[in-house]
Structure formats: structure tokens, C-alpha cells
Copies of this chain bind each other. A is one copy, B any other.
Amino acid sequence: MAKDLIILAYSGGLDTSCILKWLIQKNYDVVCYMADIGQDENFGEAKKKALGIGAKDVIIEDLRSEFVTNYMLPAVQMGLVYESRYYLGTSLARPCISVGIVNAAKKLGAKYISHGATGKGNDQVRFELSVYSLWPDGKVIAPWRLPEFFNRFQGRSDLLEYAKKEQIPVSATPKAPWSTDENIMHISYESGVLEDPGAIPPKGIYKMTRDLQEADDYPTIIDITFEKGLPVTLNIPSGHEKSLIIRDPLKIVETLNKLGGQHGIGRIDIVENRFLGLKSRGLYETPAGTILHLAHLDLEAYALDREVLRLKKILQDKMSDFVYNGFWFSPEATYTRKCLELSQQSVTGEVTVQLFKGNVTISARKSPTSLYNKDLVSMDIAGGFSPEDSTGFININAIRLKEFSRYSNNTK
């Protein structure tokens, strides 16, 4: 009888290598799936390793452009920030990878999808909710939540022992005392020595960005152009006739990562609230994402009507939670995304940004669609404005306040 086929989200690391072996020993056929979303990884070597362990096949898919175009840049457009600070680099990658792995599973006629995410984290949720949305009849095997598995492998040493026994190659590099998640948008660092929120993180932890002390000593000034809220061109340096113009979304992000990295831009160290109800401490570096988000924020305030901005803000805060919690493909996120896109029809224009010593300094912005009216606001030009009107405006607004004041005095 044919074995059931599992597609395993494979990273090449110790955990998923042991899971691969364990699944094979549980009598499954296993095809490994690796998405290239910009992480620093030797895919060839990982493939060799997986095949060596016994994978039927290894699929490697370059999703970098897909990730940038359909997840990262829309997140900029929508203004997604979790708990006021985190740009959701990991959260955005999960649905993107899920599309890849579900497509593979459907194509190969797999019955299961498996992954190495642990039971306390957000990624299991993001991954599985995406899978179930895309493939309601699909089934997920999460070994780290199966007593049979997690009771057997209670710590790293159990995995190492199993690897040794099963001849799974183990990286010679000693494991960092924290865990990381990496893609073209960001790298996150958490767990291990970082679990104490009162402990200052060790030096040298960050990989995409330089320490402020090592950052470039001269600023870089660039122009970023947006159309309907989406970044579309990058000019380096700003305002030069012969400046380099980049239009490919992936290339824009790569370039801004490099520049942002040189200038030490986009690091945060925060305690956040996970969907499961736990608090965790994480470090994130998001160079290009930070630059793009701050430029977009500036242009949006410049272009949008005040009350539309208020409405958009409410939806944006909701959407940030949806994405963080893994609901990218949910009815609510699908709906909110459409509404947020609608809000961005006039967010078109150019923002001048200076990068320097960790700072993203906005110094000018232009927009053909902005509601800004220089004459109207000018101190020197009436611009169709009648100052007497302000008196009426203030007096009418004061009605409620006077009533409240009289009432409060009466009831004191």
C-alpha cells in the first residue's frame, strides 16, 4: 500500500531535520519544501542534507519577489505596525510561505503538511490558519505539539542524540544562545538569553544593520515615490539629475536594506503580546521596512483628508492585529485590506528622506494629489478665509463646554 505523503516545511536546521527523519520512521513519504524569502541559507547544502536523511524530494522556491510585492509593500501601504512598534516581518512571511507549500501539497497530492514551529509561538498559528484558509480539507502535523514527539525530545540534547544515532549531519557552528527568524524584510531575535526583558542584549547580535557607533559618518539622502500608497521608485541620491532610479520592488527593498544597514536603521527591542496570551521579548531589525513605513506615514498625512486618515488609522490598527495573529486570509483581513487600499487612492507623491546614524529624517514631500493648500494656510495670504468665521466656530464648539461647566458647578 502506498504511504501517505507529507510536505514538510524544511529549514535545514536540527529541528526540522530530526522531524524529517521521525516522520519517515512513522512510515510517511516526505517531500521537503523550502521557500527562499531572502534568508541567509545555503539551499543546495540543505537539499543534499534532506535527501540524505531520506526525503523523497526537496522543493526550493524563490518567493522573494512574491513576498515583497504581495506582502511587504502592501503592509507599508496599509501602515501595519503591531503594538505601535513592530513592522510584522515574520507575520507577513508566514502566509506567503503557506501559499507555496499548499500549492505544492495540492500538486503532489499530499495528505498532510508538517512544520517545526513550537507550541508556544505565533508561527504555528499563522502557518496553520493560512493553510486551513487555503486548503480547508488539508491536515497539519505539528510534531512539537504531539506528546509522542515532545515527550521524547525534551531539549536540544535529545535532538542532538537522535541526530547522532540517525546519522543526521549537525552544523559544526555552535548554536547562538537565542533563536532567529530571517527574511528579506527583517531578522528577529528571541528566546534564550533574551528571555529576560531586563537583560541588555549581547553585542554583535544584529546582522542586517551596523551598530550606531559603526554607522556611516555621512548621511545618504534619497527620494521615494509612492503611487496609491505603494512605493514605486527609489532615487539615489535625492534630487540629482543623474541619480540612480530603481523601480523593481525587490531591488528597491534590497537597496534600502543595504543603505539602512549602513546607517544602522530599524532596530527595536520590545516586549510584545503573543496571540496565545503570553508576553515575549523580541529584537527586530527591519532596515528597508522602517524607511518605507516612515516615508509612507509622512506622505499619507500630507495627502489624505483628516477624517479619512482617522478612519484609516482604526482599520490599520485592526489589520495589524489580524496579520500578527495569523489571519491574513480571513474574511476580516480580506475585507479590511480592500478598505485600506481604497483609502490610498490619493497617496501619491515623493518623499525626501535622509538616512543617518539610525535616523530616518523626512525633510520634504511633494504630491499632486495632496489636499494641502498653501494659500489657505498662509499667514500672509487670506486665501479665501474669513477670520470672523473662526469666532462662530469657536463659540458653537463652546456651547457644550459651557453647559458642562455650568452643570458641573451646579452639582458640585
Contacts and interface: CB of A to CB of B under 8 A. Distances in A.
Contacts of A307: 330-332, 400
Interface in A228-262: none
A143 B345 CA distance: 40
A145 B391 CA distance: 7
A407 B136 CA distance: 11
Contacts of A170: none
A280 interface: yes
Contact of A83 (B272, B301, B332, B395): B301
A44 interface: no
Interface stretch (A17-25, A26-34, A159-167, A365-373): A365-373
Instruction: Determine the interface band of chain A, counting residues with CB < 8 A from chain B.
Output: 35 or more
Contacts of A195: 374, 377-379
B277 A399 contact: yes
A84 to B, nearest CB: 6
Contacts of A5: none
Given A197-B372, A330-B404, A361 B397 contact: no
Interface string A105-142: 00000000000001110001100110011101000001
A3 interface: no
A42 to B, nearest CB: 25
Interface in A57-90: 83-85
A402 B331 contact: no
A53 interface: no
A318 to B, nearest CB: 7
Given A83-B309, A391-B389, A373 B335 contact: no
Contacts of A142: 390-391
A176 interface: no
15 contacts: A118-B387, A119-B385, A196-B374, A198-B366, A200-B363, A270-B298, A279-B302, A279-B377, A329-B401, A330-B401, A331-B404, A356-B358, A371-B404, A376-B399, A389-B393
Interface of A: 83-85, 118-120, 124-125, 128-129, 132-134, 136, 142, 144-147, 150, 155, 179, 191-192, 195-201, 212, 215, 219, 267-274, 276-281, 297-298, 301-302, 305-311, 313-315, 317-318, 321, 326-327, 329-332, 335-336, 338-339, 342-343, 346, 352, 356-359, 361-366, 369-374, 376-380, 385-407, 411
Given A278-B377, A391-B392, A393-B397, 7 more contacts: A145-B390, A150-B387, A198-B365, A338-B342, A371-B404, A373-B403, A386-B392
